[in-house]
């Protein structure tokens, strides 16, 4: 797939080289490619429309923004393999770290924009069947015998890593910092998982369409989407006492924008995400705005709960990845035969 | 896919050779021209076409596959060994090759029956059935996977009665994987066996019957030896296709580590961790296994056709 997209990009660049001079003589025009993760499709479609108009009014440049969506890790890999992304807007910082490791952008990228480069946040909540027949209120209810939990596989899904870490953080807090207890807790939870899909959308399908499981661990925005699209008469959202603050980060891909000469537009695009206008769109799509005003406007829609961060509890994404999700890490040990 | 191409070409050759043999029975007394023609071929341009074939195969098959072992050498022997013999990885080889072999075996039997019916009988809707056989070729495998999952899940049309009356769970178990692989492998057996069955003359069976052979004897000693090479090819193709299948299986498998996680999925999950070398290592092992198995099947085929030849002369 990366090869194929490279061919596409080469073809696109070829076409640009051929027609670029001609077109730019008529009017200033540029193309940006935003490489993002799965559930942001609708969000960025709306933001792009507004930004293109805004940018043309301010600078006269006629922008075209293309979007690419897929699993966060796979998208990062395409960029590493040469996909010409001007900006990346991924599910977790680790995936952008992996791109930075290849020298495509500086390693201190996360300090370049406000709020850890995360224009919005989200969290993990429970989606349960209508009326909550199994009375699931918090994380410790999920490890009871006979409860079926649906989550994707943390090894293939960025969203599932947040699920896993939230459960871990919960037990760590409850046991007063005992990592062994936390490992046991997460092990029990995952033994209640009958199907490990490869991505978040796959898990939603398993839960909603196939009718498997009592509870789906989901992105807050996905849970709201499922509720609104598929009918509030079928599901309820349950908010646990503690969850994780997911900060999906964004950054400019330096090597690409410097080559294409699109740095200014790319930078403006990402800064636009922090404006009140964009923050309002973000709130409307059930992501938590970071702008205080927009946050206040949508406060009612987001239940208050305690949110911990990966940096506080796990010492950053690199460390969390290494300890929990790398081969032989804590997640793999759940499924090792007991000796 | 490389092996698939190779073996289907081979099947073609055997068939042509067979037809040739049957067509010009007179044999040796015809003398030298036959041999000469065979050796140099009717058309000129061997050098050109051979060069083209080598370039084509090299660019499209050999070079991409050669990058796999090269990439995996980044690991070093000890690490390579650790990666490819981790318990989860071993379980996934067993599952992938076991389920593929089982599915190919089922297809061997039922694919043969389908081909037999399509060749030997006339019935209304035959043309429709004939084209239905090709559908698994054409359908995106993800579509097949989703359709099969919806059908066999606990609340699906087939899954619900199976679970309620027989207590059999299909979707999200290894059984589901076998079903998906049977689905995608079927046309390979049918389409390789069909032309060979069409070529068999009924007179042979009549002759066998008139010489006192029973039905079973006719089948075992007259029909089966003729179609066996084609059956083996079909088996090899279906098997090879199944080993590499990803799209349909991930939907129906449930993907539980150690239980229903196929090797291609492990490769994907290594890639998600940016572990290119580890992914290449597992792929290399699969490649070696597949190559060895296909090689053995081709040997069997060669041996079978030699035996057939010996008897004919």
Output the CA–CA distances (angstroms, integers) from residue A26 to A19, A21, A52, in the order listed: 11, 9, 18
The distance of B197 to chain A (nearest Cα, Å) reads 40
Q: How far is CA A128 from the centre of its chain?
A: 22
Output the pTM of the full model. 0.78
Tell if the CB–CB gap between A326 and B273 is shorter than 8 Å: yes
Category of A135 on φ-ψ map: left (φ > 0), alpha (ψ -120 to 50) or beta: left
Top-confidence residue, B48 or A254: A254
User: Using CB atoms and an 8 Å cut-off, which of residues 267-296 of chain B contact chain A?
Assistant: 268-275, 278
User: Using CB atoms and an 8 Å cut-off, which of residues 137-156 of chain B contact chain A?
Assistant: 149-150, 153-156
Average pLDDT of span A256-266: 93
Best residue in A196, A211, A317, A338 to probe B by mutation, most B CBs within 10 Å? Answer: A196
Interchain contact B171–A (C-beta under 8 A) = yes
Are the beta carbons of B93 and B285 closer than 8 angstroms? yes
Query: Which residues in chain B land under pLDDT 70?
Result: 1-42, 307-313
Average pLDDT of span A119-130: 94
pLDDT of residue A150: 95
Tell if the CB–CB gap between B258 and A337 is shorter than 8 Å: yes
pLDDT digits (tens, 9 = 90+) for A273-293: 999 999 999 999 999 999 888
| C-alpha neighbours within 13 Å on the C-beta side of residue B308 | 21
Chain B residues closer than 8 Å to A71 by CB? 272
Residue bearing tokens 């007394």:
B29
Q: In sequence order, what DSSP letters do the residues of B52-79 get, joined into one string? A: HHHHHHIIIIIHHHHHHHHHHGGG-HHH
pLDDT averaged over chain A?
88
Are the beta carbons of A216 and A195 closer than 8 angstroms? no
pLDDT of residue B195: 92
pLDDT digits (tens, 9 = 90+) for B160-185: 999 889 988 888 899 999 999 999 99
Q: Which fold has domain B77-312?
A: MetI-like fold (1.10.3720)
Tell if the CB–CB gap between A76 and B274 is shorter than 8 Å: yes
Best residue in A129, A210, A326 to probe B by mutation, most B CBs within 10 Å? Answer: A210
User: Which of A76, A98, A332 shows the shortest C-beta gap to B88?
Assistant: A332
* Domain range summary for chain B, segments of one domain joined by +: 77-312
Helices (H), chain A: 2-26, 41-59, 72-80, 93-101, 114-117, 158-174, 179-191, 200-208, 220-230, 254-260, 263-272, 276-284, 292-297, 310-314, 317-320, 330-335
Tell if the CB–CB gap between A156 and B272 is shorter than 8 Å: yes
User: Which of B155, B156, B268 shows the shortest C-beta gap to A156?
Assistant: B268
Output the CA–CA distances (angstroms, integers) from residue B46 to A183, B7, B50, B53, in the order listed: 66, 21, 6, 10
What does the DSSP 8-state code read for residue A338?
A: P
Reply yes or no on whether the pLDDT at A339 is more than 80. no
Reply yes or no on whether the pLDDT at A297 is more than 70. yes
Chain B residues closer than 8 Å to A80 by CB? 274
Reply yes or no on whether the pLDDT at A232 is more than 90. no
Tell if the CB–CB gap between B88 and A194 is shorter than 8 Å: no
The distance of A28 to chain B (nearest Cα, Å) reads 38
Q: How far is CA B238 from the centre of its chain?
A: 2
Top-confidence residue, B7 or A57: A57
Q: Quickly count: other Cβ atoms within 10 Å of residue A263's Cβ.
A: 16
pLDDT digits (tens, 9 = 90+) for A85-103: 999 999 889 999 999 999 8
Reply yes or no on whether the pLDDT at A57 is more than 50. yes
Lowest-confidence pick of A49-58, A138-147, B31-40, B293-302? B31-40
- The pair of structure tokens assigned to B263 is 């090797």
pLDDT of residue A180: 92
pLDDT of residue A70: 83
User: Which of B258, B272, B274 shows the shortest C-beta gap to A335?
Assistant: B258
Reply yes or no on whether the pLDDT at A303 is more than 60. yes
pLDDT of residue A27: 57
The distance of B257 to chain A (nearest Cα, Å) reads 6
pLDDT of residue A12: 57
Are the beta carbons of A69 and A101 closer than 8 angstroms? no
- The pair of structure tokens assigned to A36 is 């993002």
Residue of B nearest to A154 (CA): B269
pLDDT digits (tens, 9 = 90+) for B68-85: 888 888 888 899 998 899
User: Which of A196, A326, A336 shows the shortest C-beta gap to B255?
Assistant: A196
Query: What count of CB pairs under 8 Å joins A to B?
Result: 77
pLDDT digits (tens, 9 = 90+) for A188-210: 999 999 999 888 888 888 898 88
pLDDT of residue B311: 52
Chain A residues closer than 8 Å to B88 by CB? 332, 335-336
Average pLDDT of span A211-233: 87
- Chain A interface, Cβ < 8 Å to B: 71, 73-74, 76-77, 80, 98, 153, 155-156, 193-198, 202, 209-212, 321, 325-328, 332, 334-337
Reply yes or no on whether the pLDDT at A337 is more than 80. no
Distance, CA of A246 to CA of A184 (rounded, Å): 23
Residue of A nearest to B153 (CA): A210
What lies within 8 Å, CB to CB, of B167 at 6+ separation is none
Q: Is B249 exposed, middle or buried (0-12, 13-18, 19+ CB in 10 A)?
A: buried
Residue of A nearest to B152 (CA): A210
What is the three-class DSSP state of A339?
coil
Top-confidence residue, A77 or A24: A77
Best residue in B64, B67, B79, B273 to probe A by mutation, most A CBs within 10 Å? Answer: B273
Distance, CA of A23 to CA of A21 (rounded, Å): 5
């Amino acid at each position: 797939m990366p090869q194929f997209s490279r061919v596409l990009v080469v073809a696109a660049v070829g076409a640009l080289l051929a027609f670029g001079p001609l077109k730019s003589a008529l009017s200033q025009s540029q193309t940006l490619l935003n490489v993002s993760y799965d559930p942001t499709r609708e969000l960025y479609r709306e933001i792009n429309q507004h930004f293109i108009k805004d940018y043309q009014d301010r600078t006269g440049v006629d922008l075209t923004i293309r979007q690419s969506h897929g699993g966060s890790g796979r998208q990062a890999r395409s960029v590493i393999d040469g996909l010409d992304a001007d900006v990346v807007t991924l599910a977790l910082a680790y995936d952008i770290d992996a791109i930075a490791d290849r020298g495509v952008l500086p390693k201190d990228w996360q300090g370049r924009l406000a709020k850890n480069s995360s224009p919005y946040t989200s969290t993990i909540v429970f989606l349960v069947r209508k009326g909550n027949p199994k009375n699931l209120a918090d994380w410790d209810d999920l490890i009871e015998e006979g409860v079926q939990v649906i989550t994707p596989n943390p090894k293939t899904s960025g969203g599932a890593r947040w699920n896993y870490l939230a459960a871990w953080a919960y037990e760590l807090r409850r046991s007063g910092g005992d990592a062994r207890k936390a490992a046991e807790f997460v092990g029990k939870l995952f033994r209640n998982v009958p199907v490990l899909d490869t991505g978040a959308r796959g898990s939603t399908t398993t839960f909603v369409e196939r009718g498997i499981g009592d509870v789906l661990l989901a992105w807050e925005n996905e849970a709201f989407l499922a509720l609104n699209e598929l009918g509030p008469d079928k599901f309820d959202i349950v908010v646990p006492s503690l969850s994780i603050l997911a900060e999906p980060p964004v950054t400019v891909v330096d090597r690409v924008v410097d080559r294409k000469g699109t740095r200014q537009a790319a930078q403006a695009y990402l800064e636009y995400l922090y404006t009140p206008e964009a923050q309002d769109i973000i709130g409307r799509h059930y992501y938590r705005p970071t702008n205080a005003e927009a946050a206040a406007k949508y406060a009612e829609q987001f239940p208050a709960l305690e949110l911990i961060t990966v940096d506080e509890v796990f010492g950053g994404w690199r460390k969390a990845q290494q300890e929990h999700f790398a081969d032989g890490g804590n997640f793999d040990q759940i499924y090792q035969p007991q000796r | 896919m490389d092996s698939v191409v190779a073996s289907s070409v081979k099947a073609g050759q055997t068939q042509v050779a067979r037809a040739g043999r049957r067509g010009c029975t007179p044999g040796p007394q015809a003398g030298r021209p036959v041999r000469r023609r065979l050796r140099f071929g009717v058309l000129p341009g061997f050098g050109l076409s051979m060069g083209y074939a080598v370039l084509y195969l090299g660019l499209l098959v050999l070079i991409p596959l050669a990058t796999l072992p090269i990439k995996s050498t980044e690991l070093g022997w000890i690490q390579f060994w650790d990666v490819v013999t981790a318990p989860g990885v071993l379980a996934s080889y067993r599952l992938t090759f076991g389920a593929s072999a089982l599915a190919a075996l089922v297809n061997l039997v039922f694919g043969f029956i389908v081909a037999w019916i399509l060749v030997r009988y006339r019935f209304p809707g035959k043309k429709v059935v004939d084209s239905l056989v090709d559908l698994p070729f054409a359908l995106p495998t993800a579509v097949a996977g989703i359709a099969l999952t919806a059908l066999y899940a606990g609340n699906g049309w087939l899954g619900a009665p199976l679970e309620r009356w027989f207590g059999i769970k299909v979707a999200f178990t290894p059984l589901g994987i076998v079903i998906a692989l049977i689905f995608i492998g079927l046309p390979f057996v049918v389409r390789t066996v069909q032309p060979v069955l069409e070529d068999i003359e009924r007179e042979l069976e009549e002759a066998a019957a008139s010489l006192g052979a029973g039905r079973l004897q006719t089948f075992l000693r007259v029909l089966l030896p003729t179609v066996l090479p084609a059956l083996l090819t079909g088996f090899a193709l279906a098997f090879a296709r199944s080993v590499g299948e990803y799209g349909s299986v991930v939907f129906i498998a449930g993907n539980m580590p150690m239980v229903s996680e196929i090797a291609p999925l492990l490769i994907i999950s290594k890639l998600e961790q940016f572990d290119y070398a580890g992914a290449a290592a597992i792929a290399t092992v699969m490649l070696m296994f597949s190559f060895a198995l296909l090689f053995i099947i081709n040997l069997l085929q060669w041996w079978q056709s030699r035996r057939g030849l010996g008897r004919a002369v």
